[in-house]
Amino acid sequence: MDQRASEIILNVVRLLMLCEGVWESRELAMRWLKNTVPALGDVEPVSLLDIYEGRRWVSQVLAQIEQGQFC
């Protein structure tokens, strides 16, 4: 595996850990990732994880949820 692929995998794992931390449950985190989210343009967060900008956008929304900016 090359360095770029390793960095992508590590980035996705960190994002999944953040998601679990925000929702305080792996099950709730997976449910959120697989449902459409208005703050993400009504797309499923999981569909955005394959590109850097998508992962960044999902991370930003999770940070806002954690701060209480979204319900």
pLDDT digits (tens, 9 = 90+) for 4-40: 889 999 999 999 999 999 999 999 999 999 999 999 9
pTM confidence score: 0.88
Q: Report if residue 12 sits inside a domain.
A: yes
Structural domain of 51: 3-66
**What is the DSSP-derived secondary structure letter of residue 34?**
T
Averaged pLDDT, 38-61: 96
Report the distance separating Cα 47 and Cα 33, nearest Å: 8
The answer to whether residue 46 is domain-embedded is yes
Q: How many domains is the chain built from?
A: 1
71 located within any domain: no
Burial class (CB in 10 A: 0-12, 13-18, 19+), 50: exposed
